Amino acid sequence: MPPSSIPNATNCMFLSSIAMFHRLSALMLPKSTRLFCNSSSHDLARTIAELNKEMEFVFGEAPPTSITGSSESQPVSQDSSGFMCTENIKDESKLTHVSVKGEAQMVDVSHKDISKRVAIASCKVILGKKVYDLVSANQVAKGDVLSVAKIAGITGAKQTSNLIPLCHNIDLTHVRVDLRLNPENYYVEIEGEAASTGKTGVEMEALTAVTLAGLTVYDMCKAASKDIQITDVRLEHKIGGKSGNWSRGK
């Protein structure tokens, strides 16, 4: 139906909507590559206020002041690049190793309380029957697989901050690595524990311990088979810190 045949009130709404669309489009597409530049932000606010008045005249009420319809809007600020951003974005971020600018950072733990920290991690190394029989009989050419992997895991835990870039250098008070053979499924089950009294957790040390132990098992046995798999590397339990105690499955 052409606009000329639309009733007067509806025609007014139709024409007003077109006018508002063109005015917003002209303002929201600046020549600059920035989303909102400093020189246009005040023009945007003034134009939105004028459009609200027109909407109130046409529809009988002003539109909501936020997208969700709430009369309260989030605080808005501009960063050095001229982009508009809400002030509470950084509060919603849960990645402590990422700064508000999206850059990698090492977390400052100087304000944290000193407490006992313990973490337990585990993994599996699936050998297959042929390699399993060699390991269990201690017939692998390189030597005692389980003993060498145990030492490797302990050494790995102490080198965690050198291997993982943003980890803190922690004074460990205890490291335990145990390896057990599972004759039913032909795999090695590895469990690692790390402990410290300090300001940050030792989860990464426990995870590094079992990972290095698993890699060592692979290295010791790879001549016999390339089909060995390292699986289920995971944290099982932690104690201490602001987040408290945690156990898998609870």
What is the C-alpha separation between 25 and 242, in angstroms, rounded? 49
Residue 85 DSSP SS3 = strand
**Residue written as token pair 């993982």:** 164
Type of residue found at 204: M
Dig out the tokens for 84 from the structure. Answer: 């508009």
Residue 219 is among the residues annotated as catalytic for this protein: yes
3-state secondary structure string across 53-88: HHHHHHHCCCCCCCCCCCCCCCCEEECCCCCEEECC
Residue 246 DSSP SS3 = strand
CB within 8 A of 28, min separation 6: which ones?
44
| Strands of 246-247's sheet in order across | 172-182, 187-198, 115-126, 229-239, 246-247
At residue 103, φ and ψ (nearest 5 deg) are -100, 150
Strands 115-126 and 246-247, bridge-based pairing: unpaired
* Stated length of the chain: 250
**Residue written as token pair 């590559």:** 33
Instruction: Exactly one of 43, 133, 171, 219 is catalytic; name it.
Output: 219
At residue 122, φ and ψ (nearest 5 deg) are -150, 165
**Residue written as token pair 């001229």:** 82
Instruction: Give 3-state DSSP helix, strand, coil % of the chain, rounded to 5.
Output: 40, 20, 40
| Residues assigned a catalytic role | 219
